[in-house]
Amino acid sequence: MENINYIEGLLNNDNAILKKIYDNYAARIAHHIRMHGGTNEDAKDVFHDALMVIYQKAQLPDFQLTSQFYTYLHSICHFIWDRKKKKKSNNAVTISEDFRLIDVTNIEEDILKREKYLILQENFQKLGSFCQQLLELFFAKESMEFIAQKLNLKNEHTARNRKYRCQKKLEEFVRSDARYKELT
Protein backbone atom coordinates (compact mmCIF):
# COMPACT_ATOMS: atom_id res chain seq x y z
CA MET A 1 0.00 0.00 0.00
CA GLU A 2 2.85 2.36 0.81
CA ASN A 3 4.15 1.98 -2.76
CA ILE A 4 0.91 3.39 -4.16
CA ASN A 5 0.98 6.21 -1.60
CA TYR A 6 4.45 7.21 -2.80
CA ILE A 7 3.31 7.37 -6.42
CA GLU A 8 0.15 9.29 -5.53
CA GLY A 9 2.20 11.62 -3.33
CA LEU A 10 4.56 12.37 -6.19
CA LEU A 11 1.69 12.97 -8.59
CA ASN A 12 -0.06 15.28 -6.12
CA ASN A 13 3.14 17.01 -5.03
CA ASP A 14 2.35 16.02 -1.44
CA ASN A 15 5.13 17.49 0.74
CA ALA A 16 4.62 14.94 3.53
CA ILE A 17 5.02 12.02 1.11
CA LEU A 18 8.00 13.67 -0.60
CA LYS A 19 9.65 14.14 2.79
CA LYS A 20 8.97 10.50 3.62
CA ILE A 21 10.54 9.39 0.33
CA TYR A 22 13.62 11.51 1.01
CA ASP A 23 13.84 10.35 4.63
CA ASN A 24 13.48 6.66 3.73
CA TYR A 25 15.58 6.45 0.59
CA ALA A 26 17.89 9.41 -0.07
CA ALA A 27 20.65 8.17 2.24
CA ARG A 28 20.55 4.67 0.74
CA ILE A 29 20.77 6.05 -2.79
CA ALA A 30 23.55 8.46 -1.77
CA HIS A 31 25.52 5.55 -0.31
CA HIS A 32 25.09 3.59 -3.56
CA ILE A 33 26.25 6.56 -5.67
CA ARG A 34 29.28 7.19 -3.43
CA MET A 35 30.20 3.49 -3.58
CA HIS A 36 30.17 3.79 -7.37
CA GLY A 37 32.42 6.83 -7.67
CA GLY A 38 30.01 9.69 -7.06
CA THR A 39 29.82 12.54 -4.59
CA ASN A 40 27.02 13.65 -2.29
CA GLU A 41 26.18 16.34 -4.85
CA ASP A 42 25.97 13.68 -7.58
CA ALA A 43 23.70 11.62 -5.34
CA LYS A 44 21.33 14.56 -4.78
CA ASP A 45 21.15 15.23 -8.52
CA VAL A 46 20.56 11.57 -9.37
CA PHE A 47 17.90 11.19 -6.66
CA HIS A 48 16.06 14.28 -7.85
CA ASP A 49 16.30 13.21 -11.51
CA ALA A 50 14.98 9.75 -10.64
CA LEU A 51 11.97 11.22 -8.84
CA MET A 52 11.28 13.32 -11.93
CA VAL A 53 11.46 10.21 -14.11
CA ILE A 54 9.04 8.37 -11.81
CA TYR A 55 6.73 11.39 -11.81
CA GLN A 56 6.72 11.48 -15.63
CA LYS A 57 6.20 7.72 -15.93
CA ALA A 58 3.43 7.74 -13.33
CA GLN A 59 1.49 10.30 -15.38
CA LEU A 60 1.19 7.83 -18.26
CA PRO A 61 -2.24 6.16 -18.38
CA ASP A 62 -0.82 2.63 -18.58
CA PHE A 63 1.67 3.05 -15.73
CA GLN A 64 1.68 0.28 -13.14
CA LEU A 65 4.20 -0.11 -10.37
CA THR A 66 5.03 -3.82 -10.50
CA SER A 67 7.77 -3.82 -7.89
CA GLN A 68 8.49 -2.23 -4.55
CA PHE A 69 8.87 1.56 -4.81
CA TYR A 70 12.46 1.42 -3.56
CA THR A 71 13.41 -1.24 -6.11
CA TYR A 72 12.00 0.91 -8.89
CA LEU A 73 13.66 4.06 -7.54
CA HIS A 74 17.01 2.31 -7.07
CA SER A 75 16.96 0.89 -10.61
CA ILE A 76 16.27 4.31 -12.09
CA CYS A 77 18.97 5.95 -9.94
CA HIS A 78 21.44 3.26 -10.93
CA PHE A 79 20.64 3.76 -14.61
CA ILE A 80 20.87 7.57 -14.37
CA TRP A 81 24.19 7.37 -12.51
CA ASP A 82 25.64 5.00 -15.10
CA ARG A 83 24.63 7.40 -17.85
CA LYS A 84 26.14 10.39 -16.02
CA LYS A 85 29.40 8.54 -15.44
CA LYS A 86 29.55 7.62 -19.10
CA LYS A 87 29.01 11.26 -20.13
CA LYS A 88 31.73 12.40 -17.71
CA SER A 89 34.26 10.01 -19.19
CA ASN A 90 33.61 11.24 -22.77
CA ASN A 91 35.50 8.30 -24.19
CA ALA A 92 35.22 4.54 -24.43
CA VAL A 93 38.15 3.81 -22.13
CA THR A 94 38.76 4.63 -18.48
CA ILE A 95 41.52 3.66 -16.08
CA SER A 96 40.72 1.55 -13.06
CA GLU A 97 42.39 1.72 -9.66
CA ASP A 98 44.96 -0.88 -10.68
CA PHE A 99 45.64 1.02 -13.92
CA ARG A 100 44.33 -1.63 -16.28
CA LEU A 101 42.31 -0.35 -19.22
CA ILE A 102 38.63 -1.16 -19.05
CA ASP A 103 36.19 -0.87 -21.92
CA VAL A 104 33.22 1.13 -20.60
CA THR A 105 30.83 -0.43 -23.12
CA ASN A 106 31.46 -3.84 -21.52
CA ILE A 107 30.75 -2.39 -18.09
CA GLU A 108 27.49 -0.95 -19.35
CA GLU A 109 26.55 -4.34 -20.81
CA ASP A 110 27.41 -5.98 -17.48
CA ILE A 111 25.24 -3.50 -15.61
CA LEU A 112 22.34 -4.09 -17.98
CA LYS A 113 22.75 -7.84 -17.53
CA ARG A 114 22.82 -7.43 -13.76
CA GLU A 115 19.70 -5.24 -13.81
CA LYS A 116 17.89 -7.76 -16.00
CA TYR A 117 19.00 -10.56 -13.67
CA LEU A 118 17.63 -8.67 -10.64
CA ILE A 119 14.33 -8.19 -12.46
CA LEU A 120 14.32 -11.91 -13.29
CA GLN A 121 15.00 -12.83 -9.65
CA GLU A 122 12.20 -10.62 -8.35
CA ASN A 123 9.72 -11.96 -10.88
CA PHE A 124 10.84 -15.53 -10.16
CA GLN A 125 9.53 -14.98 -6.61
CA LYS A 126 6.06 -14.31 -8.07
CA LEU A 127 5.87 -17.88 -9.38
CA GLY A 128 4.20 -20.56 -7.32
CA SER A 129 6.43 -22.85 -5.27
CA PHE A 130 5.99 -25.74 -7.74
CA CYS A 131 7.26 -23.67 -10.68
CA GLN A 132 10.11 -22.32 -8.58
CA GLN A 133 11.18 -25.85 -7.60
CA LEU A 134 10.87 -27.16 -11.14
CA LEU A 135 12.84 -24.30 -12.69
CA GLU A 136 15.52 -24.45 -9.98
CA LEU A 137 16.05 -28.13 -10.78
CA PHE A 138 16.07 -27.38 -14.50
CA PHE A 139 18.57 -24.53 -14.08
CA ALA A 140 20.71 -26.87 -11.97
CA LYS A 141 20.86 -29.04 -15.12
CA GLU A 142 18.97 -31.95 -13.61
CA SER A 143 17.52 -34.42 -16.12
CA MET A 144 13.81 -34.34 -16.94
CA GLU A 145 13.58 -37.89 -15.63
CA PHE A 146 15.02 -36.79 -12.26
CA ILE A 147 12.74 -33.73 -12.17
CA ALA A 148 9.67 -35.89 -12.88
CA GLN A 149 10.59 -38.27 -10.05
CA LYS A 150 11.51 -35.50 -7.61
CA LEU A 151 8.26 -33.59 -8.18
CA ASN A 152 6.05 -36.70 -8.42
CA LEU A 153 5.13 -36.09 -12.04
CA LYS A 154 3.88 -38.83 -14.36
CA ASN A 155 6.91 -38.86 -16.69
CA GLU A 156 9.59 -36.81 -18.46
CA HIS A 157 7.11 -35.53 -21.01
CA THR A 158 4.89 -34.12 -18.27
CA ALA A 159 7.92 -32.54 -16.60
CA ARG A 160 8.96 -30.95 -19.90
CA ASN A 161 5.44 -29.55 -20.48
CA ARG A 162 5.23 -28.14 -16.96
CA LYS A 163 8.71 -26.60 -17.30
CA TYR A 164 7.64 -24.94 -20.54
CA ARG A 165 4.51 -23.47 -18.87
CA CYS A 166 6.51 -22.25 -15.88
CA GLN A 167 9.12 -20.63 -18.14
CA LYS A 168 6.39 -18.92 -20.16
CA LYS A 169 4.78 -17.59 -16.97
CA LEU A 170 8.13 -16.24 -15.78
CA GLU A 171 8.76 -14.67 -19.18
CA GLU A 172 5.31 -13.05 -19.03
CA PHE A 173 6.05 -11.57 -15.59
CA VAL A 174 9.43 -10.22 -16.76
CA ARG A 175 8.13 -8.75 -20.00
CA SER A 176 5.32 -6.94 -18.17
CA ASP A 177 7.79 -5.46 -15.64
CA ALA A 178 8.11 -1.71 -16.29
CA ARG A 179 11.80 -1.78 -15.40
CA TYR A 180 12.47 -4.46 -18.01
CA LYS A 181 10.68 -2.39 -20.64
CA GLU A 182 12.94 0.55 -19.79
CA LEU A 183 16.06 -1.55 -20.25
CA THR A 184 15.07 -2.96 -23.64
Domains of the chain, by residue range, sit at 1-90, 102-184
- Which residues lie across from 102 on neighbouring strands? 94
Predicted local distance difference test score (pLDDT) of residue 89: 65
Predicted local distance difference test score (pLDDT) of residue 100: 38
- Specify the 3-state DSSP secondary structure of 101: strand
Same fold, 1-90 and 102-184: no
Per-residue pLDDT for the chain (184 aa), expressed as one digit of tens each?
577 788 888 888 888 998 999 999 999 999 988 888 889 999 999 999 888 888 888 888 887 877 788 888 888 888 888 888 877 765 444 433 433 333 444 555 666 777 888 888 889 889 999 999 998 888 888 899 999 999 999 999 999 999 999 999 999 998 898 888 777 6
Alpha-carbon distance of 22 to 1, in angstroms, equals 18
CATH architecture of 102-184: Orthogonal Bundle (1.10)
- Which residues lie across from 93 on neighbouring strands? 103
Predicted local distance difference test score (pLDDT) of residue 86: 78
Query: 42 and 80 in contact (C-beta within 8 Å)?
Result: no
Predicted local distance difference test score (pLDDT) of residue 103: 44
pTM of the model: 0.49
Give me the CATH code for the 1-90 domain, please: 1.10.1740
Which residue, 131, 2, 138, 133, is CA-closest to 72? 2
